[in-house]
């Protein structure tokens, strides 16, 4: 495991599973917990440290599980609590930690808490959600907008008030200013701690408080628009500075209560922080020993992947975290954005060399890393026709935006069974034909495949302490190169990436020798006369140490 036993999460690689699309065990076309359990040998073979399982709780599935109707129940679509226990036991037997998604900022409108809250203005849970009277002209109380487009307020005729929903109208926001809400949510977290999970990924955790004075957000300016925002520019949500509907200071106190609870069980907190100015918020949220253990970064989930952009995002977060002793978690793909193999392809044809480069970069950064299911296979974004689209976000912004279904299609396991071996029934999303040659069984037969490479690189990284916890700095090099240095005392490791489609040569700041045993060495050569010169193949990567260190 990465780091010491008590800090296994520091520098860990976390494999994200989207349950609906991983493996279906009962033929209903939707992945489930027994399906996950049946494929954990594959996950363990990669050399990752932990598994993050996206929501599997009881839900009407308006947002595919991120709208929770019962925090303590497994949705029948995914199985039972016994199935969860079996999954957890198998992970632990394989040496994997288990992280589950927890959505605390909001619930489903089908949750019993909301049913009671909306029934009147004076019931015991009347203030468990964010209710507000309309303005005198009947319009919503503030100008706040939903991440999914349109107003963040929904009229409820029973209470004759508006309720706040930062996401879908079917996902009402909980009122964290209510002490009973905080206590109840900590109880839900405790339930899963006692069931043996090793940690939680807290969804949208900076949405957990709103401005109690209900002040309007100001309009966005050029200076305030987040250059790493994953919100589309055609979504009005991007037109505001979100000063009052999220990232409130009161949340820090709640996160301290949450950390105290988790510490009692040795559980880890990974927080999703989406904000216009995310790095300072992430630094606050992960201040060493006080709140979250680590924060999930959106900075590399954008379309821009130029070395200048990447360096700026990496340095910005690293600089923000350093004073607080905080820790980040990087990702280049997840269940909400187009897959990196397509998003960072510049429209070019699939290229395994390029896929290898992005994985190597992800694993070279300071922080932990999240690897999304199928990323180890180099899966491109799937093409899902409108008539088969499931994502409400995509339906709302079609055709300019096709939604998130393209990264959520079923995992391809084999070409020797229907639906790539994912399900014997009709899958909830179609299997993309372009994924079939990339199926796990096919790649396992090919020593030159992306899967073979991913396993080799992940296992090699486990032998390199500097890549897990060392400090990070950059060396100035011209594009398309990116040169970073990891260090700890006298130990130094250089990682140099050619993000371009042509070979590139660059003088080295000092004589370097390749690190032994990693699968990328053949993509780089060094000549020493008259001065050290590194030549990188297209999409080449070099890992090396100063010559006097003799390599490792």
Catalytic residues: 203, 272
Q: At what angle do helices 179-193 and 250-263 cross, to 10 degrees?
A: 30
Identify the DSSP state of 482. E
Place of tokens 């010169």: 533
The Cα-based distances of 147 to 269, 362, 480 in angstroms read 24, 27, 34
Q: Confirm if 29 and 410 have CB atoms less than 8 A apart.
A: no
For residues 374 and 379, what is the distance between their CA atoms, to the nearest angstrom?
6
Counting other chains too, the contacts that 34-43 makes at CB distance below 8 Å and 24 or more residues apart are 34/79, 34/83, 34/86, 34/87, 36/87, 37/83, 37/86, 37/87, 37/90, 39/411, 39/413, 40/87, 40/90, 40/91, 40/94, 40/96, 41/94, 42/440, 43/15, 43/17, 43/94, 43/96
Phi, psi of 414 (to 5 degrees): -160, 160
Interstrand relation of 533-536 and 481-488 (parallel, antiparallel or unpaired) = unpaired
Are 173 and 204 in contact by the 8 Å Cβ rule? The answer is no
Helix (H) / strand (E) containing 261 = helix 250-263
Distance CA 329, CA 294 (A): 6
Beta strands 199-202; 294-296: pairing state: unpaired
Work out the burial of residue 497: count CB atoms within 10 Å of its CB; fewer than 13 is exposed, 13-18 middle, 19 or more buried.
Answer: buried
């Amino acid at each position: 495991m990465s780091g010491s036993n008590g800090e296994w999460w520091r520098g860990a690689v976390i494999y994200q599973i989207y349950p609906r699309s991983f493996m279906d065990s009962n033929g209903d076309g939707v992945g489930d917990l027994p399906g996950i359990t049946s494929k954990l040998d594959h996950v363990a073979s990669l050399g990752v440290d932990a598994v993050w399982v996206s929501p599997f709780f009881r839900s009407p599935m308006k947002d595919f599980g991120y709208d929770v109707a019962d925090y303590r129940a497994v949705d029948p679509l995914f199985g039972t609590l016994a199935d969860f226990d079996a999954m957890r036991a198998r992970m632990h037997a394989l040496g994997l930690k288990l992280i589950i998604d927890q959505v605390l900022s909001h619930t489903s409108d089908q949750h019993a808490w909301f049913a009671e809250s909306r029934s009147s203005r004076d019931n015991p849970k009347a203030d468990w959600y964010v209710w507000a009277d309309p303005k005198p002209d009947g319009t919503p109380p503030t100008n706040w907008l939903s991440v999914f487009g349109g107003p963040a307020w929904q009229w409820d005729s029973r209470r004759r008030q508006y309720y706040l929903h930062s996401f879908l109208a079917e996902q009402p926001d909980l009122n964290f200013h209510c002490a009973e809400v905080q206590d109840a949510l900590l109880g839900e977290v405790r339930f899963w701690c006692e069931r043996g999970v090793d940690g939680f990924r807290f969804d949208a955790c900076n949405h957990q408080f709103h401005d109690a004075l209900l002040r309007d957000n100001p309009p966005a300016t050029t200076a305030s628009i987040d250059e790493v925002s994953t919100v589309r520019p055609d979504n009005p949500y991007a037109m505001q500075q979100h000063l009052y509907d999220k990232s409130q200071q009161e949340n820090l106190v709640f996160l301290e209560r949450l950390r105290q609870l988790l510490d009692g069980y040795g559980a880890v907190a990974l927080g999703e922080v989406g904000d216009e100015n995310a790095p300072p918020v992430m630094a606050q949220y992960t201040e060493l020993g006080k709140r979250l253990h680590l924060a999930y970064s959106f900075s590399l989930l954008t379309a821009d992947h130029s070395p200048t952009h990447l360096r700026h995002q990496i340095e910005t977060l690293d600089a923000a975290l350093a004073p607080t002793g905080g820790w980040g978690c990087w990702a280049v793909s997840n269940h909400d954005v187009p897959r990196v193999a397509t998003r960072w392809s510049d429209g070019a044809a699939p290229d395994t060399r390029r896929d290898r480069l992005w994985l190597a970069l992800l694993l070279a950064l300071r922080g932990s890393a999240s690897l999304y299911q199928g990323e180890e296979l180099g899966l491109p974004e799937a093409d899902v026709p409108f008539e088969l689209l499931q994502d409400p976000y995509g339906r709302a912004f079609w055709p300019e935006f096709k939604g998130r279904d393209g990264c959520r299609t079923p995992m391809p396991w084999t070409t020797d069974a229907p639906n790539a071996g994912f399900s014997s029934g009709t899958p909830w999303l179609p299997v993309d034909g372009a994924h079939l040659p990339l199926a796990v069984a096919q790649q396992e037969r090919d020593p030159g495949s992306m899967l073979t490479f991913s396993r080799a690189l992940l296992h090699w990284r486990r032998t390199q302490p500097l890549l897990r916890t060392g400090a990070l700095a950059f060396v100035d090099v011209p594009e398309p190169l990116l040169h970073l240095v990891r260090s700890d005392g006298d130990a130094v490791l250089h990682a140099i990436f050619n993000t371009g489609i042509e070979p590139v040569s660059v003088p080295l700041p000092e004589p370097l020798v390749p690190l032994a045993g990693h699968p990328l060495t053949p993509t780089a050569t060094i000549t020493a006369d008259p001065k050290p010169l590194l030549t990188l193949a297209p999409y080449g990567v070099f890992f090396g140490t100063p010559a006097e260190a003799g390599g490792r």
